[in-house]
Amino acid sequence: MKILCAGPTSIDKSVMDKMGESKTNPDLDPNYEAFHRNVEKKISKLSNTDSTSFIMLGEAILGLEASICSLMQKGERVLVIYNGFFGRGFSDYVEGYGGIAYKYKDDFHRGINLESLKEFLEKDSDFSIATLVHCETPSGITNDIESICNLLKSYNILTVVDAVSSIGGEYIDFDKFGIDVLIGGSQKCISAPVGSTLITISETAKEKIKNRNTKVPSYYLNFENYYDFKGAPFCYTFNENLIYALDRALDLVLDHDYVEVHKKYATITREIFTKCGFELFAEDSFSNTVTAIKTPAEITSSQLLRALMEKDIIISKGVGNTSETLFRIGHMGKNIDTENFKELYLAIDEIFKELNVKNKGSLYEEFLKY
């Protein structure tokens, strides 16, 4: 199967091979701890920082929920800044743990507007935490987290950033961007198996957790148990196989200029669809890891996905109310492979022809020009 969807992405064979290795007992072998700490350092490298990183065993949503569970106390006001599906989702965690979510909504077709946010904060900045998303995967929009987080920091608001679909694909500087908690996933640009959440945390965020006057209402979700566990190296038994795979996948990412590669394929993807008369969902702030394209009126996204699946190719459709009106290509991590793209475009050309979709020219021919 050729995987070109917005995650989980293709996994390199050497990563899967690592997953099959069983070497030791992660709780008892001190060499395992040293290895694990080194993997954590590699995670910090992805956002160019020396700040603490750690791994939680679970899909990336675990990290989003855990950030609120660990940092926020009941009754705190949290600024939930959103211009897409995942951004809005933070309000569920805030309300679930008894906080007050102020839902700051922006245009879903554009990056978060800094000037409007500035005007808003001049009137109301009584927030201890703000949440936002780096890349809104459902719409293919990457927000300018550097400007936004630095603005929030100027009001002493802690910043929690969902970078699940951008880490390992977009340039991130944790300290310079003013990020307090960065949440990454293993199954998007890093191209490791699903099942681990990657967290990077600032000293300011650690202080906030330390100074809580109520206990974190969870053991499994308490960040402190991951970076400051007393009495044992880890707060539970790690899945060594998953961490070996993650380690190998991180090496593959860090060994090349992944920012440039993602930028290049994102640009090509946008250009060829636009040249062939298709419309993108985003109007600005285009993501370098995923592109959302409007599904031609003659067909539904499900029709396109089904037809591609018959040709052994997987892409994504839209999410929520755009489910049948958008289709998405994840030019993420190990999905990026020229042969894969050629097969995809050849297949889409054929399917559109069969389904009588009117478009100007061949995606495949346009792709070959690069």
By CB under 6 A, how many residues form the interface with ligand PLP?
12
- What lies within 8 Å, CB to CB, of 271 at 6+ separation is 366
Q: Identify which of 163, 143, 140 has the alpha carbon closest to the alpha carbon of residue 151.
A: 143
Closest contact distance (angstroms) between CB of 355 and ligand PLP is 28
Return the range that interacts with ligand PLP (CB under 6 A); candidates 10-18, 32-40, 54-62, 250-258.
54-62
> Under rule CB under 6 A, which residues in 118-147 are in contact with ligand PLP?
133, 137
Q: Which two tokens stand for residue 36?
A: 């694990």
Helices 301-310, 338-354: axis angle to 10 degrees equals 120
Per CB under 6 A, 59 contacts ligand PLP: yes
CB 56 within 8 A of CB 199: yes
> Under rule CB under 6 A, which residues in 170-229 are in contact with ligand PLP?
185, 188
Per CB under 6 A, 318 contacts ligand PLP: no
What whole-number distance in Å separates Cα of residue 54 and Cα of residue 63?
11
DSSP letter for each residue of 241-291: HHHHHHHHHHHHHHTS-HHHHHHHHHHHHHHHHHHTT--BS-SSSB-SSEE
Per CB under 6 A, 314 contacts ligand PLP: no
User: Which residue, 121 or 172, has its beta carbon nearer to ligand PLP?
Assistant: 172
Return the range that interacts with ligand PLP (CB under 6 A); candidates 58-66, 291-299, 336-344, 347-355.
58-66
**How many angstroms separate the Cα of 19 from the Cα of each of 11, 28, 168, 243, 247?**
11, 20, 20, 8, 10
User: Which residue, 139 or 222, has its beta carbon nearer to ligand PLP?
Assistant: 139
Closest contact distance (angstroms) between CB of 138 and ligand PLP is 8
Binding site feature residues: 328
Closest contact distance (angstroms) between CB of 56 and ligand PLP is 13
Binding site feature residues for substrate: 328
DSSP letter for each residue of 280-314: BS-SSSB-SSEEEEEPPTTS-HHHHHHHHHHTTEE
Per CB under 6 A, 61 contacts ligand PLP: yes
User: Which residue, 90 or 341, has its beta carbon nearer to ligand PLP?
Assistant: 90
Return the range that interacts with ligand PLP (CB under 6 A); candidates 59-67, 74-82, 119-127, 199-207.
59-67
User: Which residue, 137 or 225, has its beta carbon nearer to ligand PLP?
Assistant: 137
> Under rule CB under 6 A, which residues in 81-100 are in contact with ligand PLP?
86
Closest contact distance (angstroms) between CB of 196 and ligand PLP is 12
Residues in the chain: 370
User: Which residue, 188 or 262, has its beta carbon nearer to ligand PLP?
Assistant: 188
Q: Identify which of 159, 153, 210, 129 has the alpha carbon closest to the alpha carbon of residue 47.
A: 159
> Under rule CB under 6 A, which residues in 147-166 are in contact with ligand PLP?
162, 164-165
Closest contact distance (angstroms) between CB of 185 and ligand PLP is 6
Closest contact distance (angstroms) between CB of 359 and ligand PLP is 28
User: Which residue, 276 or 326, has its beta carbon nearer to ligand PLP?
Assistant: 326
Partners of 101 in beta bridges = 78
Helix (H) or strand (E) holding 61: helix 61-71
> Under rule CB under 6 A, which residues in 3-22 are in contact with ligand PLP?
7
Q: Which two tokens stand for residue 345?
A: 């475009």
Closest contact distance (angstroms) between CB of 242 and ligand PLP is 15
CB 322 within 8 A of CB 295: no
**How many angstroms separate the Cα of 60 from the Cα of each of 92, 222, 276?**
15, 15, 35
Closest contact distance (angstroms) between CB of 292 and ligand PLP is 12
User: Which residue, 58 or 233, has its beta carbon nearer to ligand PLP?
Assistant: 58
What whole-number distance in Å separates Cα of residue 63 and Cα of residue 201?
12
Helix (H) or strand (E) holding 77: strand 77-82
| Contact footprint for ligand PLP (CB under 6 A) | 7, 59-61, 86, 133, 137, 162, 164-165, 185, 188
